[in-house]
Amino acid sequence: MTPASTQDILGADLSALAAAFHRDGYTEASCEEVQSLTRALGLPPPDVTLRAFKASPALRTHTALWALGLTVPERDLAPLLGGPLFERLVGLGLLHRGPEGVRAELSVIPSDGFLTTRDFDAVLTGKPAGDDYVLGIGPSTRRLAALMVPTPGGLTLDLGTGQGFLALSASQWSSRVIATDVNRRALSAAAFSVNISGRTNIEFREGSYFEPVGDLRGQCNLILCNPPFVIQPSGDRVCFTGTERGDRCIQHLVEEGPAYLAPGGWLSVLGNWTHTDEADWADTPMQWARGTGCDVWIIRRQSWSPRAYAQSWIDELTRNGASADRPPVLDEWLEYYESLGIRRITMGAVVMHRRAGENWARFDTLFSDSVGDAGPQVAQLFENQTALNDLTPDLVLQRALVPVRGLEIDLRHRFAEQGFAPASITLRNTVGFPMPLSVQLGALEVVRRLDGVRPLAEIAREIAAAHGGDASSLAPGIANLGLELLRLGHARLAG
Ligand SMILES: C[S@@+](CC[C@H](N)C(=O)[O-])C[C@H]1O[C@@H](n2cnc3c(N)ncnc32)[C@H](O)[C@@H]1O
């Protein structure tokens, strides 16, 4: 069943729901406790988890209804919500009254300071996910949220908003967020979440990718999209695979998205794309991004053979019950890849920044996820990469550098005959992507002197004077270190 329209949901006064959750202790922590309990009990039916969950009657009722998808007695729930709110939720199709009691149309889970919604996990309901299934916040949602460059006061476009988490996150600093989806049920779920999370600057539009936002050409400061990127033969689950063949969805976003960016705007999309051998993993998105007026950072997380890719997604889709009614067949997937000439599939992200002038492109393989919010790091990397276009080793020696916040020096000592001696030094970011850089022991003397005031050439002279050496022989190494620190975003140019 599809709940009421976004307009009706956004227009309703549902503020008492957040208050009831707060009063009764239905929080992120209580939901995590239930999740741990479910795992510890070996994913039993939800009523078994509920029996083992020790909490007040009110918290048990919220947990049963909103987290576990169970039917609860109306006489338990109505007093917790209050009559008017209860009736409003029923009227909006978000609660259903039946002879057995009341059940919720959507799960509501407190997360990251918001009240987020989603369809109940197929593992809980025992029913296969329908074509309009609304996914919860998953690892890919978090990956894209971490890549988001904050554009305070700007206009953010979240394409394929699903449960709306990215729109909610961006609404904290955007003046206006427009969230779209082809799935009307997802839009209603996101609107429910936006309403009960108390956000007022998010609007919804229904339609495919840029179709409903033609009026926003050249105006967006940030465009986000975590599209349905699984490359599989039967693309009919809109939340996982979309309805397009192969990697068309990300191609579409990279080719068309830049026209919707304001000057200086950012576009971040996740996706899976196909290519022919291991070495050419960046070629496909690079072809799409060429000539779009943007600097481009193509990030690879992992590349797969078609067989490994197919098996991993078939396992995932089967595990979460997404394809219980139409089990995927490995051979069909492999034939499909064969028919399209696909030899490798890469999972990654493309970040684009609209900038006048000569644009650059850069490719990195980042196997690990970012540690927390990588947005400021992404912005710094782009700024540095643009500066690097004009920086030679000689020029960088004339510049002062400042280490970025969160840069860590990891100095390891190893025991040898003379006692412990420094064995390796790695510089890495502790906020964002680590971007590890192994350096020689001497580099420490340089990094510790970076203060945004002394140019690298002066630092070379100081070190030479301290050790009785020759600054001109140190300079090339220090210049290369400076360029590498900038390239990896470990430092920025002062002034
Ligand atoms: C992988 S989910 C991502 C949801 C959410 N943004 C997140 O990050 O968790 C993909 C979403 O894209 C939507 N979608 C699929 N095809 C679309 C299209 N052609 N245009 C817009 N949205 C689409 C799906 O309905 C689904 O909500």
| Cα–ligand 1 centroid distance for 149 (angstroms) | 20
Model pLDDT for residues 313-337, shown as the tens digit of each residue: 888 877 766 666 667 789 999 999 9
Q: How far is the CA of 240 from the centre of ligand 1 (A)?
A: 8
Q: What is the pLDDT of residue 321?
A: 64
Task: Quote the pLDDT of residue 242.
Answer: 54
Low-confidence ranges of the chain (pLDDT < 70): 235-246, 320-326
Residue nearest to atom 16 of ligand 1 (CA): 242
CB 296 within 8 A of CB 361: yes
d(CA 224, CA 159): 6
C-alpha of residue 158 to centroid of ligand 1, in Å: 9
Query: Which residues, in sequence order, are bridge partners of residue 363?
Result: 298
Closest atom of ligand 1 to CA, residue 225: 6
| Cα distance between residue 117 and residue 119, in whole Å | 7
The distance from CA 39 to its chain's CA centroid, rounded to whole angstroms, is: 25
pLDDT score of 381: 98
User: Closest residue (by CA) to atom 18 of ligand 1?
Assistant: 208
For ligand 1, atom 22: residue with the closest CA: 160
Task: Give nearest CA residue, ligand 1 atom 8.
Answer: 141
* 178 residue type, one letter: I
The domain made up of 393-493 has a fold known as: Arc Repressor Mutant, subunit A (1.10.10)
CA–CA separation, 378 and 120 (whole Å): 34
Cα–Cα distance measured from residue 357 to residue 355, given in angstroms and rounded to the nearest whole number: 6
Question: Quick check: CB of 157 below 6 Å from ligand 1?
Answer: no
CB 400, CB 495: distance < 8 Å? yes
The verdict on the CB of residue 111 being under 6 Å from ligand 1 is: no
Residues in the chain: 495
> Hey, what amino acid is at 208?
S
- What is the distance between the alpha carbons of residues 2 and 8, in angstroms, rounded to a whole number? 13
Ligand 1 centre to CA of 10 (Å) is 20
In degrees to the nearest 10, what's the CA dihedral of 279, 280, 281, 285? 160
Nearest protein CA to atom 7 of ligand 1, as residue: 141
**CA–CA gap between residue 164 and residue 137 (Å, rounded):** 9
Q: Which of 114, 118, 135, 209 to mutate to test the pocket of ligand 1 (most atoms within 8 A of CB)?
A: 135
Mutate to test the pocket of ligand 1, among 169, 226, 230, 236 (most ligand atoms within 8 A of CB): 226
Return the domain boundaries, the chain.
6-105, 139-369, 393-493
Using alpha carbons only, give the angle 293, 434, 305 rounded to the nearest 5 degrees. Answer: 70
Contact present, 250 and 287 (Cβ < 8 Å): no
pLDDT digits (tens, 9 = 90+) for 239-268: 555 556 668 889 999 999 999 999 999 999
Q: What is the CA radius of gyration of the chain?
A: 26
The finding on whether 159 has its CB within 6 A of some atom of ligand 1 is: yes
pTM confidence score: 0.94
The CATH class of 139-369 is alpha beta
